[in-house]
Amino acid sequence: MTDYIGATAPQGTVGVRGALTVSELTREAKTLLESHFDQVRVEGEIGDFTAAASGHWYFTLKDNDAQIRCAMFKGANARIKQRPDRGDVVRIRGRVSLYEARGEFQLIVQHLEPAGDGALQLAFERLKTKLQAEGLFDPSRKKPLPAFPKRVGVVTSSAGAALHDVLSVLGRRSPMIEVVVLPVPVQGQEAPAAIVKAIEQANGVTSQGDLTLDVLIVGRGGGSLEDLWSFNDERVARAIASSQLPIISAVGHEVDFTIADFVADQRAATPSAAAELASFDQTEWLQRFDQAQRVLQTTLQRRLRSQRERLGHLRARLRHPGRQLAQQRHDISVLKRQLHHHVSQGLRAQHQQLQYLTVRLHQRHPKLKLEGHRQLISGQRQQLKQRITDRLAQARRQLQEQHRLLNTLGPQQTLMRGYAIVQTKSGNVVRDATDAVTGEQLSVKLAKGSLDVSVLSAASDIKGG
């Protein structure tokens, strides 16, 4: 007799009681996948792409070694400005699931964007890394929101849809709450400074007791990365971090994330959601109680059903060792996926470290040091030229002084005083009369011109000296 585990026994064989049906197996696999993975971000190349008449997108995401089916439903892809096509390299955010009808592993895509960081995205990541390293994102420093606020401040554009949404939600849920609007530009070069000033003003009037605020909503409506860039400004981030008032960041739509979202005490997906976080609905508590009762009842029923199923599985395992082997294979598969997940996380961390080291290497590039040395040499060259010029001027003055002395003490000045230089025809200077011979021709050099003379007698020929 042949036993078949988890499948319909062929005719003529005896099936094993307690075996899973295909539907049960796929349902358990789906539950396991969806409970293990919350949200994932995946990057790859789009393979086959289909835009269904229903508005849903179906495509495969692949790399060199594997591919996975993806589904992006109409409500999610309506926010995508440009529809992707086959061959595009994209980065997606979504949840892992399993299509039970075919037993296929797939990703339900919630957001899709082209892969590759532009200048703004790179600046965003660098500032995010910097502020995170300083501890500005730590949950321990985030302030709790008041349960029953009386006065709410709103920092946003007075002409934007965000303010209308906030006022509408607060008026519907908590009309007793007083709203203080601090109007600011939310886009453009002047926006960051204005937002910082409004946050500081709200804290100032609260600390002085002039107008006590309980919570502050800071945000605007959706837009492109450039439109939202004021809320990625470091000045705004530090103003939010320094605020004594709890701040709710409400920038853009649900898929938009800014630095302000990470620094704020609470991030809201939309301005309307921020108003809900900052307000109290009187009927909400009764609804919560009813919902809690239903959840408790459902949880107990599910728990009982799960325990019954577990009891049935245990009974089956006691009678059939093959079921235990199947469970062990399943556990190994789960551990394998966990190992792959941890390895992927490690690789991502290494990649981030590599990017950080690359930036540091660029900052220490020899080109920067060479430029510094060039500037140093240029300065020293100017100093050397100045010193040479100074030395030449000094030497020139010394030469002029020596020349003056030479003119003063030289033979020409002596001749001008009436003296003369007597030389033989060979050019020897006659210093002693006894050196001359009677009849010898001599040359007498005067201050002006010279004389040729003949020696008639020398002092030694004169009697009596």
> Shortest CA distance to 341 belongs to which of 62, 117, 39, 47?
39
How many whole angstroms separate alpha carbon 9 and alpha carbon 226? 62
Q: Does domain 37-115 have CATH number 2.40.50.140?
A: yes
- Check residue 465 and report its DSSP letter: -
- Degrees, nearest 5: CA angle 48-54-58: 20
Taking a C-beta distance cutoff of 8 angstroms, is the pair 109, 93 a contact? yes
The rounded distance, in Å, linking the Cα atoms of 410 and 404 is 10
Residue 209: both structure tokens together: 């007791």
pLDDT tens string for the chain (465 positions)?
333 333 334 444 444 446 888 888 888 888 888 777 878 889 899 999 999 999 999 999 999 889 999 999 998 988 886 788 888 888 889 989 888 888 888 999 999 887 754 556 767 888 999 999 999 999 999 999 998 899 999 999 998 889 999 999 998 888 889 999 999 999 988 999 999 999 999 999 999 988 899 999 999 988 877 788 899 999 999 999 999 999 999 998 777 789 999 999 999 989 999 999 998 886 776 687 888 888 899 889 988 888 888 888 877 766 666 777 888 888 888 898 898 888 888 888 888 888 888 888 777 778 777 887 888 898 899 999 999 999 999 999 999 988 888 777 777 777 777 788 888 888 888 888 877 888 888 888 887 888 888 888 876 544 444
Look at residue 394 in the predicted model and tell me its pLDDT.
92
**How confident is the model at residue 356, as a pLDDT?**
85
The amino acid at 220: R
pTM above 0.75, yes or no: no
For CATH 3.40.50.261, the residue range(s) in the chain are 121-277
pLDDT value of position 28: 86
CA angle 447, 452, 454 (to 5 degrees): 130
* Predicted pLDDT of residue 328: 84
Task: Give 4: exposed, middle or buried? Use CB within 10 Å, 0-12, 13-18, 19+.
Answer: middle
Distance separating alpha carbons of residues 459 and 146, to the nearest angstrom: 133
Q: Which of 360, 128, 113, 359 is nearest to 233 (CA)?
A: 128
Residue whose structure tokens are 């390293």:
133
Give me the residue label for tokens 């293990």. Answer: 36
CA distance 77 to 71: 10
Q: Where in the chain is the domain with CATH 2.40.50.140?
A: 37-115
- Residue written as token pair 């910097």: 130
The neighbour count for residue 119, using CB atoms within 10 Å, is 7
- Bridge-based pairing of strands 178-183 and 151-156 is parallel
CATH class (in words) of the domain with range 121-277: alpha beta
Work out the burial of residue 329: count CB atoms within 10 Å of its CB; fewer than 13 is exposed, 13-18 middle, 19 or more buried. Answer: exposed
| Residue 122 pLDDT | 66
